[in-house]
Structure 1
Amino acid sequence: MSLRTVQWALAASLLAGVGGCARPEGALAPVLAAPGAGAKVEMLAATTRAPSDRPGVVFGGERGDGLAFADIVVSVPPNRQVGSIQWPRRGPADPARTFAVTSLSDVPRAGVRSWLKKEARGRRRALIFVHGFNTRFDAAVFRFAQLIHDSNAGLVPILFSWPSRGRVLDYVYDRESTNFSRSDLVELMNTVAASPEVDEVVIMAHSMGAWLTVEALRQEALRRGRIPAKITDVILASPDLDVDVFERQVAEMGPKRPHITIFVSRNDRALGLARLIAGRVTRVGAVDLTDAAYRDRLDAAAGVVVVDLTGLSSGDPLNHSKFATSPAVVQVLGEQLLRRQPGDDSSNRAADVAQTLGAALGSAVAAPILVFSGGQN
């Protein structure tokens, strides 16, 4: 099968999954919000995208000249289901009914440390989120705001957005854009970790963003001999990563690497087609934990917990975004992964995750969801 044929198959699958829900541009145009119209999430967005002059777009899908920063406040509407995003229709967003931007301002490069000093005071923990393939800037902003709001984890939100064109046929362009952005993500990680107001950094990456994240961590480990100690946890949701490459990347990070939690699903349709594009090599986000060969390989990786969500249904028809769309998984993120404090005992992490899933779903529903932990550090 030719690459072009597979790309069209990927496009057909993704388009079938989203059911024609193409969204108009301009959702990030700031609007005024009445008091009490919605909860507020303020984030720092760091991006390697080129700026856009289209109203409400802010950053497009092409590659920029370097890191740019913005302070963005998102209003999350009341009376909504956990895991959902209410998109504005054409025209100004309505904070009472939809996600809306109520404030957006540039942050100069020299002002990032001041932003961290202001926002981290009293919280001391930061979350860097790296989005995945086929993601416009507005989609990255709203998804991250939804995740921060629904998990109620209390971390300082920092979005790293790389140049994705947000089109299903641009898989290769998006993949190269992650490589283009790797050193910039390293710079952001080091800047956040170096802040005296930040005690701990958690990095969460989805889909193709996991490749970028793991490569950035590996690059820093090889360059400096270790990853900054403040980076304690890495969460990979549906990672679009070659399983053989990932095994080597983890080894090259060295023994003093962050704890890694991976959400996988054997019925992830997007990763199934990514596997075809990648020469039929299994993606980490679609490994089969019932296969002894994969379990043996994972068992050799200390400090890695894998949560198999194959048995969990959610509102995502592609089974590719359960980490954010499933209320049960959002609860696990909030209670067991994002709220952990420095010094917390992580030796029972797999049991903690399984217990929270069981409480959220009920034991009968949670039973098909496997949680596996590799050897301990």
Structure 2
Amino acid sequence: MHDDMIEPSGEVRRAPGETPLSATAQTGEREVETALRPRRLAEFVGQPRVREQLELVLESARKRGVAPDHVLLSGPPGLGKTSLAMIIASELNAAIRITSGPALEKAGDLAAILSNLAEGDVLFIDEIHRIARPAEEMLYLAMEDFRVDVVVGKGPGATSIPLEIPPFTLVGATTRSGALTGPLRDRFGFTGQMEFYSPAELEQVLRRSASILGIDIDAEGRAEIARRSRGTPRIANRLLRRVRDYAEVRADGVATLPVVRAALEVYDVDELGLDRLDREVLEALVRSFNGGPVGVSTLAVAVGEEPSTVEEVCEPYLVRAGMLARTPRGRVATGLAWEHLGLRPPDDAGGLDSTSSSLFD
């Protein structure tokens, strides 16, 4: 299933905020992602530190015959937090219940889920930082004492009924650990900080994915995709599928290095892993605003996108790549941004010079 909608004119139409290099899951990707997810910790590629720590937590719990401590997985989207949650359940031979923070608007929503858990089950809450306050306060008691107080009725006649729940393991995932409240964060026994992948690790991910999907791609082709995938497995797998499409239609079905390069050019992914929207943001910043500083809302209007898309999809990688800096006065282009666009900053440019860009490498 393709990720994008194609208009009769042939133009690719994406949902708001969706780009080829967006790390968030896009329309129609869930089934493919499920097929590619590793089932065991030994199959999981990358995150060696988190893997080792998690293995110790799970093995210790198995030997003691108890449910492991609650686990918080923190890091940018697309790095494997959901996969690790499913692996935890698989390693424990336990069932897993999956929900998300935005879905838990009321305490009753959470109580319904908790009351249906069996002993040893894993409850996975994605985007846990977005859980509503009433549900979060109920979660405190459930995590510590394995019980919840259900309030029946309203007003003076309301009564609180304690409900015992069996020991379970909560796995929370968040892309914004700083948005978690202190009381909730402190109740997790283990916190794993997910890091971006190296190109070598992404090549391992691509080798495994190509084998599962039956894609014929050589080592040089995998290395090229890995180099342009922003250190994110979800993006690497998405680009792999787009390269497969190109190879099947315009080549002989084999994704060699020239085929990969041609495919990524069609999908507007350049040598540094920037896509069309990234370059539009940089061009607007240097051409329209002389390198900045400029506010994100103004920059978003200039490229015809929502401010949240620019801030959450484009900016993180541009900052990591050393092409954009966030300052108290607004966004500023670095010397690397001008260089990448083939431009020379004028003497009166507001952007940072090339030496300043080294601060963001």
In the superposition, the TM-score normalised over structure 1's length comes to: 0.25
Bigger proportion of residues as strand: 1
- Structure number with higher helix proportion: 2
